[in-house]
Structure formats: C-alpha cells, structure tokens
C-alpha cells in the first residue's frame, strides 16, 4: 500500500515528537504492508511554521535512519497545507512542497466552517498548475451540509483523501457514514493513514483495505489504496470524473457499480 498522508516526521507538528517515535511508526507501517509514505507535516501560518527548508532535512535524517535499521519504507516529501490565499505563490516558489514534487498537494480545509470562495481558490491553484488532494473530507464538520461543494471540486480532477480509520469507525459514526458514501459516488478517491503516533493514530491501513475489499470488491480496494496513489506519485492526471457519472447512470442498480466504473477506466476511456 501507498500512504500519502502521514505525520511521521519528528519535531515538526503534532505527529512524532522524536526520531525514535518516527522509526517505530515506520516499523508499524512496513509490518502493515505499507511500502511508500509521503511525509506531510502540517503547514499553517502562526501554528505550524513549516516549509520545504524545515521539512526536507528531517525527511533525509529519517530515511537514513530507516536504512540503518533495515526498515524498507520509501519516504517522499510533502506537506498538509492549510487553506491560505497565498498558497499558489508559495507552491510556485517552492516554499511549500507538493507530494513527491508532483502537481498534487495535500490541502487541509477548515474543519468547522465552510471556507468562503473555496471553488474559486481551487481554480486559482489549478491555474497555477497544481491539483489539490482534499484531506479527509469525511471528517469535516460541514460535509453533510455541503457535499455538493466537494463533488464540484472532485469533478475538477481533485482527488478526495479518506482516512483509513474513518472507514473503521474510529472517528465516529458520521465520519464512517460519510466515508462510505464517498466511496459509492465513484469520485476520485484514495485512502491514507493520517498517522500521528505509534499508538492511537498509527500508520495502519490493511484492516481498512480488507473492509473495502469485502464490501466493494478487490479492484475498488486496489484502486483506493494503491493505484490512485501510484498515479499521483507518477504525476499522472486522473481521468475525467464526468465519465464515471455516465457509467454510474448506465448501471444504476448494479450491486458492484464501483468495480464496473474501474473496469471502464481500465479499458482506457
């Protein structure tokens, strides 16, 4: 599995505090079947003043330590950038890193209030050449009221990142239900750990992948935990979502419509 959202880097945010904790988290991730991990510390003005210059040296230190400890986890640079109007400029200047130096950045939205002019902001990011991955929309307090807004953004080619623990109910019934609903939309989605520690929020995704596989099929699970993250790391554009809407309408009563959608995409449409 590929994990594109983690707070494994030590001393930068509310994730790992020390190098030993980061190493322990990496061990857990590898034992769970995670092979690649994007390190995405919070970047938020006044709260988490991180930038590429603070993030990269910690990543290099940790990657070196993992080599020394024989822990086969490939780390990649990234950030969980909080919504900020000057973000496009900071991405263009390289001050804020994208995921693995691709066009994709992990974007954190305000949890309690619907951000004003969000759609316009996403268009500005896209005009600057970047594509936001929306971090854990299922956990936003306003998702039930404004699911339409997230759908509109996803249709622009922006993937939505569901947290593995949300699928398992560890963020409550509402987040679990919203995560399930998102999977059934056929929008561009991926699952990540958003790991913060070796204990309560550990870098594990295999239980969630098994659950998705049993409920929506193995192809859907592979898509969410491996293939979409792979496409992002390779800086590939995701296919036009509107085609998925078309195929969903064509199979409105199918019990396995997500797999049909993925089959459709694999056929090269």
Sites of contact with Fe ion (CB under 5 A): 80, 194
Residues across the chain: 269
To the nearest whole angstrom, how small is the minimum distance from the Cβ of residue 151 to Fe ion?
22
Going 243 to 156 to 192 to 175, the CA torsion angle's sign is negative
Within 10 angstroms of residue 215's Cβ, the number of other Cβ atoms is 14
Alpha carbon separation from 141 to 33, 81, 145, 203, 264 (Å, rounded): 31, 19, 9, 24, 33
Residue pair 11/58 in contact (Cβ under 8 Å)? The answer is: yes
To the nearest whole angstrom, how small is the minimum distance from the Cβ of residue 251 to Fe ion?
35
To the nearest whole angstrom, how small is the minimum distance from the Cβ of residue 5 to Fe ion?
6
CB closer to Fe ion out of 40 and 244: 40
CB closer to Fe ion out of 102 and 197: 197
To the nearest whole angstrom, how small is the minimum distance from the Cβ of residue 97 to Fe ion?
15
To the nearest whole angstrom, how small is the minimum distance from the Cβ of residue 196 to Fe ion?
7
Residue pair 167/204 in contact (Cβ under 8 Å)? The answer is: no
CB closer to Fe ion out of 25 and 219: 25
CB closer to Fe ion out of 32 and 194: 194
CB closer to Fe ion out of 42 and 223: 42
The CA distance from 52 to 85, in Å, is 18
Residues 6+ apart with CB under 8 A from 124: 88
Minimal CB distance residue for Fe ion = 194
The CA distance from 136 to 75, in Å, is 21
């Amino acid at each position: 599995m590929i994990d594109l959202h983690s707070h494994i880097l030590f001393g930068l945010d509310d994730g790992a505090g020390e190098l030993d904790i980061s190493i322990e988290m990496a061990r857990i991730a590898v034992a769970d079947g995670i092979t690649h991990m994007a390190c995405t510390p919070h970047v938020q003005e006044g709260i988490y003043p991180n930038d590429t210059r603070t993030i990269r040296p910690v990543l290099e230190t940790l990657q070196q330590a993992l080599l020394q400890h024989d822990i086969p986890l490939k780390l990649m640079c990234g950030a969980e950038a909080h919504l900020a109007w000057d973000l496009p400029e900071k991405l263009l200047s390289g001050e804020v890193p994208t995921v693995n130096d691709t066009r994709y950045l992990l974007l954190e939205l305000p949890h309690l209030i619907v951000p004003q002019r969000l759609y316009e902001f996403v268009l500005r990011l896209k005009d600057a050449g970047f594509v936001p991955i929306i971090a854990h929309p299922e956990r936003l307090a306003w998702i039930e009221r404004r699911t339409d807004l997230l759908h509109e953004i996803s249709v622009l080619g922006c993937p939505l990142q569901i947290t593995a623990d949300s699928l398992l109910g560890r963020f409550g019934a509402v987040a679990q239900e919203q995560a399930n609903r998102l999977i059934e939309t056929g929008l561009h989605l991926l699952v990540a750990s958003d790991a913060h520690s070796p204990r309560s929020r550990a870098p594990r995704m295999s239980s969630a992948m098994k659950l998705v596989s049993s409920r929506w099929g193995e192809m859907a699970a592979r898509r969410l935990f491996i293939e979409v993250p792979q496409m992002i790391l390779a800086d590939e554009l995701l296919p036009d979502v509107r085609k998925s809407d078309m195929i969903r309408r064509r199979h409105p009563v199918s019990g396995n419509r997500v797999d049909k959608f993925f089959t459709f995409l694999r056929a090269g449409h």
